[in-house]
Amino acid sequence: MDIAELEKRLTRLEDIEALKQLKARYCEICDDAHNPDRVIALFAEDGIWESGDFGKAQGHTAIHELFSNFRKTFSFSQHNIMNPIIEVNGDRATAMWYIMGPWTYTETKEEKWFALRYDDDYVKINGVWKYQHLRVVLRMVAER
């Protein structure tokens, strides 16, 4: 194997690890009361957060507003993320993740477990991976 092929393989592995870290930061921010000030840094300027069940927002201002509403809606969440399938193609990437976790609603005190799937598109901007389009697909809800 020549040095160019080795560099290509190393870059791919570094990109995959960076995308795993991006998802971990996203989950930690969500579990930090869906912190709207922190989450926007993870998205491209024109990035999209979308879910048929929870809403859609495009751009930093709209994503900030959506997460501000999540902050009011949920008093607790725990994002337990798993099983990533990540494909990297230059400065673009896609991934599918599964998540299982508990959420507590602020007003009603209802406690629910959600099973969700994330379908993500990423873009590398100035050497940093960002969300271009994060999609949340609700798969199951269980009430306590």
Q: Is the pLDDT of residue 107 over 90?
A: yes
Does 87 or 1 have the greater pLDDT score? Answer: 87
Round the average pLDDT of the chain to a whole number and report it: 97
What is the largest distance, in Å, between two alpha-carbon atoms of the chain?
61
Say if CB 137 and CB 107 are below 8 A apart: no
So where are the chain's domains? 3-143
Closest CA to 128 of 35, 44, 25: 44
Burial zone of 14 (CB within 10 Å; 0-12 exposed, 13-18 middle, 19+ buried): exposed
pLDDT band at 56 (very low <50, low <70, confident <90, very high): very high
* DSSP helix, strand, coil percent of the chain (3-state; round to 5): 35, 50, 15
Over residues 26-49, mean pLDDT: 98
pLDDT of residue 1: 75
Give residue 3's pLDDT: 93
Q: 81 near 23, Cβ under 8 Å?
A: yes
Residue 80's pLDDT is what? 97
Q: What is the mean pLDDT of residues 26-48?
A: 98
pLDDT at 144 over 90: no
Closest CA to 47 of 69, 72, 22: 22
Give the integer Cα–Cα distance in Å for 92 and 94: 7
The tokens for 97 are: 């993740």
Count other C-beta atoms under 10 Å from residue 144's C-beta. Answer: 8
In CATH, what is the architecture of 3-143? Roll (3.10)
